[in-house]
Chains A and B, each alone.
Chain A
Amino acid sequence: MPSPADIGVISYAPIALLFVMAAVFAAVNIVASALFGPRVESVVKGTAYESGMDPFGSARKRFNVRFYVMAMTFLVFDVEIIFLYPWAVSFAQLEPRSDESLMFLARIGFFVGTSVIAYIYAWRKGVFRWD
C-alpha cells in the first residue's frame, strides 16, 4: 500500500507537467517572436486596435457604473453556486423519491428561491438594463 505522500505526488504529476508545458510554451513563443519577427514601426501600427475603427478618446476614461454593478451581481451569483456542489454530491447518494430526498430537494429549492428573489430584485432595480 503506497503511503499518502506517494499518492499525493504521483497523482498530481500530470497537472504539474501541464503547468510546466504551458509556461514553456508561452515563454518560447514570446522569445521566438522577439528574436525572429520583423520589426517595422509606423504610426498606424502604434495605435490601439479597435476592430478596424479609428481609436478615439483616452484609454484611461471612466467605465460606466453598469460594469461595476454587473460585476458585483456576477460575483454574488457566482459564489452561490458553491452551495450547489456539496448538495449535488450528497443528493446523488440518497434513495430516489424517499422522504429524505424530497426534503433535500425542498431545502435547495428554498435556497434557489431566495436567489431568484435576489435576481428579480436586481432586474427590477434595472441592473440589467444597458441604456
Chain B
Amino acid sequence: MTQALLAMAQDGTLPELPETLRAAPSGEIAAALLISALLMAIGVVGFLSRRNMIIMFLCTELMFQGAALAMVAFSRHHMDVSGQVFVIFILTVAAAEAALALGLVVLLHRRRETLSAEAWGELGE
C-alpha cells in the first residue's frame, strides 16, 4: 500500500495541488513546525505529569500528531507529497495503538479499579 501510494505520488497520478496553494511562505512552515514542536513538548510533559493512564495515552497521541504535523509542514516545504502519505499511515498506526491502549486500560481497570499509573509499582529494584 505504501508503495502504491508513493508510486501514485511520484508518478504524478495523484491530483496536483491547485497552483495557488503550492508555494507556501516559509513563515507559515516555520509556524507549523513550531506548533508541531509544541505539540510534541506538551505531549511529553503531559505524559510525565498526568497520572490517569487515559490522559497519558492521549499525550502520546499528541506526540504522534506533532510528528504528523511536522511531516505535513515539511511536505509542503519540499513540495513533496510523500510526507502527507506518511501522515495517513501515522494515523492508522495511532488508531491501532488506540485500540490496544483501550483494551489494556479496560483490562487494568478491572484488575485495580483505578486508572492511576501509580497503582502499578510492584516490579522494580
Is A72 within 8 A of B88, CB to CB?
A: no
Query: How many interface contacts (CB-CB < 8 Å) are there between A and B?
Result: 53
User: When the two chains form the complex, which single residue of B88, B92, B106 contacts A86, counting CB atoms closer than 8 Å?
Assistant: B88
Q: A45-87: which residues lie under 8 A (CB-CB) from chain B?
A: 65, 68, 71-72, 75-76, 78-80, 82-83, 86-87
**Residues in chain B within 8 A of chain A (CB atoms):** 1, 4-5, 8, 13-15, 20-21, 23-24, 85, 88, 91-92, 95-96, 98-99, 102-103, 106
In the complex, A7 has a CB within 8 A of chain B: yes
Residue among B1, B5, B91, B102 with max Cβ neighbours from chain A (10 Å)? B1
Chain B residues with CB under 8 A of A68: 102-103, 106
In the complex, A29 has a CB within 8 A of chain B: no
B51 to chain A, nearest CB (A): 20
**Residues in chain A within 8 A of chain B (CB atoms):** 1, 4, 7, 65, 68, 71-72, 75-76, 78-80, 82-83, 86-87, 89-90, 93-94, 104, 107, 111
B54 to chain A, nearest CB (A): 13
